[in-house]
Amino acid sequence: MSVLVVGSVALDTVETPFGNADSVLGGSASYFSLAASTFTDVHIVAVVGEDFPKKHLDMFDSKGIDTGGIVKEKGETFRWQGKYGYDLGDPKTLDTRLNVFETFDPELSDEYRNIDHVFLANIDPSLQLKVLDQMNSPKLVACDTMNFWIENKLSELKEIISRVNILMINDSEARELSGEPLITNAARKIMNMGPERLIVKRGEYGALMFSDEGIFFAPSYPLEKVFDPTGAGDTFAGGFMGFISSDQTIGTDKQNLEKDFKKAVVYGSVLASFTVEDFSVNRLSELKNHEVDTRLQAFMKLSNMD
């Protein structure tokens, strides 16, 4: 089993109250694929510029992540620069340079078109639609988005939302997309837009999953060190989709459907808890399976009533 991710591979410059990182590996597809690679084979579709360091591609390779779909174009890699305040909440974007990403036009190989699990990371909904149109009957498609697309490409966004199985967005995006301040009402409105399942990410406050079966809540793991929240949401998505696509019975066995998706949410939260412990993908790229297992146990204890 495997998962395809379409998103950004970027070079980030990040400042937090705990330090700085200059032109480090970032982008939604980077975080997603490293997290998902814990569980399954991952194929990245993305674009980088001529300045993109080969060491990052080598690192993906070393993790068994297929980088054959990362196209190198003339020009510079997508660059984002942001600064976090003391609360480590939403960062202030200091600079965004789309560079080669501006003309990103993903064309999928036949192999990629037949992959069963797809994650459309936060990119222009028109591109998300274009990718989805190329897929041959995938089993499960999830997508992310951001406020910018809610405000500027709402009709395309609504179309993609109506066609995916799972929408994963954060709290403020859910409220903005629905126009509802209460998250349960926001969720109901968004579910009416078409997805079978909605996951609302709330940063350090955990994640909520809405489906016809009800609501499931997973806390965030309370950490003793947080250096850089960048990529936590994409890591969550990677842990989630990675687990779902790790075994072909997952997500299809009706009796265990909700249980499987709940486990996926917990794995998403567990993986995300590592990402924020260091800058860039540093923690994620060094992650050992036993560390994931240990934190999973600690995580399960958090909400255990016994």
Q: How far is Cα 101 from Cα 104, in angstroms, rounded to an integer? A: 5
* Closer by beta carbon to a second copy, 101 or else 279: 279
Q: How far is the CB of 178 from a second copy (least distance, A)?
A: 13
Token pair 């350090």 in the structure block, residue: 204
In the numeric block, which tokens belong to residue 93?
A: 């974007």
Which is nearer to a second copy, 159 or 204 (by Cβ)?
204
Q: Which residues contact 188 (CB under 8 A, 6 or more apart)?
A: none
φ, ψ (nearest 5 deg) of residue 303: -110, 10
Minimum CB distance to a second copy, residue 70 (Å): 35
Taking the complex as a whole, the smallest distance from the CB of residue 242 to a second copy amounts, in Å, to 18
What are the residues binding a second copy (CB under 8 A)?
17, 86-88, 181-185, 202, 204-206, 208, 214-219, 222-226, 259, 262-263, 266, 300-303, 305-306
The DSSP symbol for 122 reads S
Which of 247, 258 has the CB closer to a second copy?
258
State the Cα–Cα distance between residues 121 and 103, nearest whole angstrom.
Answer: 17
Cβ of residue 222: shortest distance to a second copy, in angstroms? Answer: 5
Containing H/E element for 239?
helix 232-244
Sheet with 10-16: list strands edge to edge.
19-26, 10-16, 79-83, 92-97
Both structure tokens of 39: 């569980």
Instruction: Give CA–CA dist 47/225, Å, rounded.
Output: 32
Nearer residue to a second copy within complex by CB, 212 or 306: 306
Helix (H) or strand (E) holding 261: helix 257-275
Smallest distance, a second copy to C-beta of residue 297, A = 12
Which CB atom, from 159 or from 216, has the smaller least distance to a second copy?
216
Nearer Cβ to a second copy (92/103): 92
For residue 5, the surrounding DSSP H or E stretch is strand 2-6
Q: What is the closest distance, in whole angstroms, from the C-beta atom of residue 31 to a second copy in the complex?
A: 21
